[in-house]
Every structure is written in C-alpha cells, then in structure tokens.
Structure 1
Amino acid sequence: MKGVMLGLLLAALAGTVRAKNQPALADTVRLRRHLQFLTSTPQPRNYLHPAVLDSVAAYIQRQLRAAGAYAVGPQPYAVRGQTYCNVLGSFGPVDGPRLIIGAHYDVCGDQPGADDNGTGVAALLELARLLGQQSELPYRIDLVAYTLEEPPFFRTPNMGSYVHAASLKGAGVPVRGMVALEMLGYYDDRRGTQHYPVWPLKFIYGSRGNYVTVAQKFGNGRFGRQFARRYRGVAALPVKRFKAPAWLPGIDFSDHLNYWKFGYQAVLLTDTAFYRNRSYHESTDTMARLDMRRLGLAIEALLATVLTGE
C-alpha cells in the first residue's frame, strides 16, 4: 500500500511539473474585455475621430506596460494636419535582430470592427501578457499597434505600418521577420462558408471556414516558410498554409504589405477576412459573431511559435 501511495504521489508531482512547463493559456475573459473596450468607443475608431483613436492608443499603452513590455510608447506622425500614432512595446533582449508582430486598431467607416480588427488588437495584447510571463525570450519581439490601415489611407505612405517599416529601414534595424494579425475571431464549420479569390482553391483548402491561415507571397524567404511550418505544427485548430503571387487579391490586404515594400520578410495570420466573414466592413461586425475559444487557440499557437526560436 505504501508503494502504491508513493507512486501516486510521484505521479501527481510529475503532473504538476509538466503543467508548469506547459505554455500559458490565452485568457478569453481578457480577450472579451479588450474587445468590449474597442467596440464600445463613443464614436467609431476611424480617422475622422482622432480623439477616439488617441484613447485606444492610450489603452494599448497601458496594457503593454502592465504586461511588462519595456520602451512602451507612441510613434506619432502627421497626416492632413492631424497627429496619429502607432503604439510600440518590446519584449526580450534589447540587442539583435527582432521579430515584429503587429495589428491595426482603426476601423473602416462607422462600424464596431469586432473582427476587423478588434480581434487582431486583442490577440496582440493577450500575446503581450503571455510574453511577459516568460522568464526569457530567444530574441527581441516588438509588438506594434498600427493606426490608419483602413481606407482612405490603405496602400499609401500614411499607413501606420508604412511609417513603422520605413523607420526600421531608415535606422538599419535588423529584422527577423514580421507577422500581421488581421481578423482572427470568425469561424464557421458549415460547408460553403469559405470563399477564395480563385474558385478552384476550394478543392485544395476546403469549403468550411473553420481554420486560420498563414498567407504569404512567393519568394518570401526563409522566415515565412519556417513560421508557417512551426505554427501549423503546434496549433490546436486547423491551419492552412497559403502562398501565392503578390498580385492575387487579398494576399497583401493588411499591414504586412509595407514590410514587403522595404524588403522585409512578412506573413499574414488571419481567418481570411472577407473571404469568410460576410460582416467585413459592416455594422454587423460585432462581438456576438466571434469564437473566443478559437481566437484563444490561435494566440496560443502564435506564442508557441515565437518561443521556438531558430
């Protein structure tokens, strides 16, 4: 009997050790809290309401500081006589090549933008919290919340991600790669819910909108290949790796496109946006349509991927 009891005790202790060594889990309560803040601002968080954008930027700074980021602060710049700002926070070693992970916090028009791109920002903030719990990181990770990704500034030098990428290039900062978080919270397991820019792709990737995808252009380099492979290997939800010519509609529809412009390797992590979520840029893009559990799984896979190192 003593031997049995000792065995059970050792097994329990071993289970405790394994639990401590497991990656931290995403907190869906915190994700909901972030999304509630983002979708309940007095006016929509678009370029016409700079005071609202400033309040969101201040919220993001507070969350990054609370998570333990260092060098937290805004990156202001002027557009049409008005000041807008990105928000930056860093984790890990100060020196050496860095990984950039970013998400835009503005919306298009007068809509709440729960998935677009509230889920990207919420994921960024929850990732910050999880990174802050690590005793050490293999390299520097810069988290960036961008302003002015949406029209009328999309594909112009006024995009926050263009300003940030240009600043890195101008300063000669070595960059390992960049990951754009763009809409990560909408999933649908029914057939026929997933659409594509070219219809034959449904025979390759399926017609169910139940996965997250890592999208990149041809010739994106070693970083993109490694990130996609590692993310798919650790994710607890379906992951599709998508690589296509840069001209294919949708492949560059987010902030990663500006890092490509400056010669950096970058990927898009997304629920495929308007190819699945029919509330894209509509007033119906609300929290009620989101899947918090799968959003959390997408974040946990991202954490595990960036902790892998090279």
Structure 2
Amino acid sequence: MRSALAGVALLLAVSACGGSGPDAGPTSAEPAPATSSVSPSASTGAAADGTTSPDASSGGVAPEDTGASPGEPGTAAPSPGVPPKPESPAADVAAMRQAIRHLAGTIGPRLATSASFREAADWFSGEMEQLGYRVTREAFPVPAGDSWGVPVEAGRSQNVIADPPGFDPTRPHLVVGAHLDTVAVSPGAEDNASGVAVVRELGRLAAAYGTRLPVRFVAFGAEEPRGPGDDLHHFGSQHRVSAMTAAEREALRAMVSLDRVGVRGSAVPVCDGGTSNGRVVRSLAAAAGGIPTTTCEDRASDHWSYEKADVPAARLGSIPYAGYHSEGDRPRVVDDRQLRWVATITWRWMR
C-alpha cells in the first residue's frame, strides 16, 4: 500500500509540472497579409529572415531580436529588481474568452465617446488594478464624423494606461496595447475585444512572472475612423504619442498593437507600416517558435501612430473577416487557437 501511494504521488507531481500546453477608413479595404511569410520551423527554430528563434517551449527570444540596446538589463518585473521566474506558463484561454464575452456581449457596441465605452474603460481599469498595476487615464477630444456609415457627434474619449509598480517611462521599456472602442453598430468581439482580452491576459502573466523590460499596457480610445485618412483615425494613440516627452520616446524600445487577433487563420499576421527596418516584426516572428506567421505592410492600427513618430512598432492580427465592422461581430466568431497563438507569441517576445 505504501508503495502504491508513493507511485500515485509521483504521478501527481509529474502532472503538476507540465504546462498546458486593419481596420481601414470607410474608403479603403482591409489589407490582407502579404504573400511572403515567416514560418519558423518547430524543429529548427529558424525564421525565414535568417534570425534564430528560441525553442517553442523556452518562452524566450533570441538576444539580437529583443528590442533592447546592448548593456540594458535583460529582465525586469513589475517589482523592480525582481527577475522573471523560470516557469514558462501558458495563457489562460478561458479568461480571454470571458473578457470577450463581457466586452462584446454584456457591454456591446463601444463607440469611443459613449457611456458604454466608459463602462468598458472602467472594467479594464479595474482588471489591471486588481493585478497590481497603477492605472491612469488621459482624456482627449474626438471630432464628429462618420463611424462606418453612421453619423456621430463630437465628444471625448480616453486612453487607459496600466503601469507596473515603480515604472519610470524615461527608462527602457515596452508598450503593448489594443483599442477598446468599436464602430457605432458593432459589438466588436473580433474588433477589438479579442485584442483587449489578450492584453489583459498578458498583464496577468507579466505581473506573475516578470518580463525582460518593464511593460506599459494601454487600452486605446477612439482608434476607429470617423472619416478617411490618418487625421480621422487612431485618435487615442496619436494623443498618447503626442503626450510623450523626448525622454519617453527615447526610452521606449518597441510598441506592439494587438488588433483583430481572434478570427481563425492558418497563421498570425505580424506587420508594420513599412517605414522602419522591420526589427519588431522580425523579433515577434522569431519569438513565434513553431507558430506560423505571415508578414505584411499595415498602417491601420495604433502601431502606426508610434511608427510615424520613429518608435519601432508592429501589429499582430488582421485575418480577413468580412464582418469585422458589423452587428454580427460577436463572440462566436473568435477562435480559441488563434487567441492562444497571439498571446503566446507576444508573451515570449515580452518575456
């Protein structure tokens, strides 16, 4: 009997150690991923651009693709000076699903200047505060215009910014964000409760396990267009970038926008605006390990505001999906595997 109990205990211990395992303006179409792709091999870890990605189980990224300058600390955690724990945990898909159901089901359409958007901002703020982040909000004006066929009045929206304890924006750091608003008629499960849900989960992982550099998480307001062109698009991220001091811009090593990351595809689009050297795209693709990725040129999300300001940036997401700005954009369109892929790539990159 004693031997049998010992065997059961050993099996339980072994089991416990195992891990589970763009938007365009109304006048332009959503760009599809380019035909060139970066599909790292699960066995070799080699990316198509010649960089070497880590093993899929490592949770790390190749040193040359971290986005940190030589001599900078390799790790940072929400509590300064606490290195990351050695575990490489999996993202909680059920928690991401719950967040999507709350945003796109319970709250529903979240026009950037509406009461429902403020309810969503309150929710995100509360979630991040519970995880130990210091949350601030910055308000900004949004003009009247056309929200994908619906005339809308001018108003005010806000960005919700979650910083780890002791965060200093003039020291090297990363930004990971997703827009919280929707067009006027859409519940916005894919666009963009999916991205916000992944950001919230990444915040949980970062608070528990630490990251290579401190990470500022942002839920952007008013990303959706109110007319054609840059001036009537990405209001929240444009405001955020304009509010940054020169020291903050210098310290920001890279920004990643998660936008429309839930519709199932055969790969994860990893894109930038095409005006930089592609460093962030390459580092994200390297972090993918065995997860397939495609690359494209994309200026239709909040990363573009940063890239225009000469901050290295990239976007994850934008699998073609005709209903992304429609009343039918509900939680059922979001796929668990796609959420897991995007969360895993971004977590390895942050880690």
Relative to the length of structure 1, the TM-score reads 0.76
| Cα deviations by residue, 1:256-295 (Å, 9 ceiling, x for unpaired) | 110012111100100x24xx21212111111111112331
Among 86, 106, 125, which residue is 1:61 paired with? Answer: 125
How has the CA–CA distance of structure 1 residues 16 and 29 changed in structure 2, closer, same or farther, with 3 Å as cutoff? closer
| Cα deviations by residue, 1:50-71 (Å, 9 ceiling, x for unpaired) | 21111111100001111222x2
Among 265, 270, 278, which residue is 2:322 paired with? Answer: 278
| Cα deviations by residue, 1:98-156 (Å, 9 ceiling, x for unpaired) | 1111110111120111101110111111111111111x332110100001111206622
Give the whole-Å Cα distance in 2 for the aligned partners of 1:222 and 1:97. 19
Secondary structure of 2:231 counterpart: coil
Secondary structure of 1:213 counterpart: strand
How has the CA–CA distance of structure 1 residues 8 and 176 changed in structure 2, closer, same or farther, with 3 Å as cutoff? same
Aligned pairs (5 A) from 1:286-301: 286-301=330-345
**What residue in structure 2 maps to residue 205 of structure 1?**
none
Secondary structure of 2:198 counterpart: helix
- How far residue 88 of structure 1 moved from its aligned partner, in angstroms, is 0.5
Among 141, 144, 148, which residue is 1:78 paired with? Answer: 141
Aligned pairs (5 A) from 1:1-310: 21-41=86-106, 44-47=109-112, 49-69=113-133, 71-80=134-143, 82-91=155-164, 94-95=167-168, 96-134=171-209, 136-152=210-226, 155-156=230-231, 159-169=235-245, 172-173=248-249, 174-187=251-264, 209-221=265-277, 223-233=279-289, 237-240=291-294, 242-244=295-297, 251-270=298-317, 272-273=318-319, 276-307=320-351
* Higher mean displacement: 175-184 or 8-17: 8-17
Give the whole-Å Cα distance in 2 for the aligned partners of 1:92 and 1:220. 31
- How far residue 219 of structure 1 moved from its aligned partner, in angstroms, is 4.9
* Higher mean displacement: 16-25 or 177-186: 16-25
Work out whether residues 178 and 264 of structure 1, in 8 Å CA contact, stay in contact via their aligned partners in 2.
yes
Unmatched 5+ residue regions in structure 1?
188-208, 245-250
How has the CA–CA distance of structure 1 residues 43 and 217 changed in structure 2, closer, same or farther, with 3 Å as cutoff? closer
* Higher mean displacement: 145-154 or 177-186: 145-154
Amino acid at match of 1:78: P
Amino acid at match of 1:175: L
Give the whole-Å Cα distance in 2 for the aligned partners of 1:284 and 1:141. 33
Work out whether residues 105 and 331 of structure 2, in 8 Å CA contact, stay in contact via their aligned partners in 1.
no
Work out whether residues 273 and 307 of structure 2, in 8 Å CA contact, stay in contact via their aligned partners in 1.
no
- How far residue 94 of structure 1 moved from its aligned partner, in angstroms, is 2.4
- How far residue 17 of structure 1 moved from its aligned partner, in angstroms, is 5.4
Work out whether residues 92 and 141 of structure 1, in 8 Å CA contact, stay in contact via their aligned partners in 2.
no
How has the CA–CA distance of structure 1 residues 289 and 306 changed in structure 2, closer, same or farther, with 3 Å as cutoff? same
- How far residue 79 of structure 1 moved from its aligned partner, in angstroms, is 3.3
Work out whether residues 115 and 184 of structure 1, in 8 Å CA contact, stay in contact via their aligned partners in 2.
yes
Greater fraction of residues in helix: 1
Secondary structure of 1:40 counterpart: helix
Work out whether residues 92 and 140 of structure 1, in 8 Å CA contact, stay in contact via their aligned partners in 2.
no
Work out whether residues 132 and 165 of structure 2, in 8 Å CA contact, stay in contact via their aligned partners in 1.
no
Secondary structure of 1:99 counterpart: strand
Work out whether residues 107 and 120 of structure 2, in 8 Å CA contact, stay in contact via their aligned partners in 1.
no
Unmatched 5+ residue regions in structure 2?
20-84, 144-153
Amino acid at match of 2:186: Q
- How far residue 26 of structure 1 moved from its aligned partner, in angstroms, is 1.8
Work out whether residues 108 and 188 of structure 2, in 8 Å CA contact, stay in contact via their aligned partners in 1.
no
How has the CA–CA distance of structure 1 residues 7 and 38 changed in structure 2, closer, same or farther, with 3 Å as cutoff? closer
Relative to the length of structure 2, the TM-score reads 0.68
| Cα deviations by residue, 1:36-90 (Å, 9 ceiling, x for unpaired) | 121135662113x521111111100001111222x21211123357331100012
Secondary structure of 2:230 counterpart: coil
Amino acid at match of 2:123: Y
| Cα deviations by residue, 1:190-248 (Å, 9 ceiling, x for unpaired) | xxxxxxxxxxxxxxxxxxx3211111244523641542332322x5x3222x144xxxx
Q: Percent identity?
A: 25
Larger relative contact order (C-alpha < 8 A, sep ≥ 6)? 2
Secondary structure of 2:116 counterpart: helix
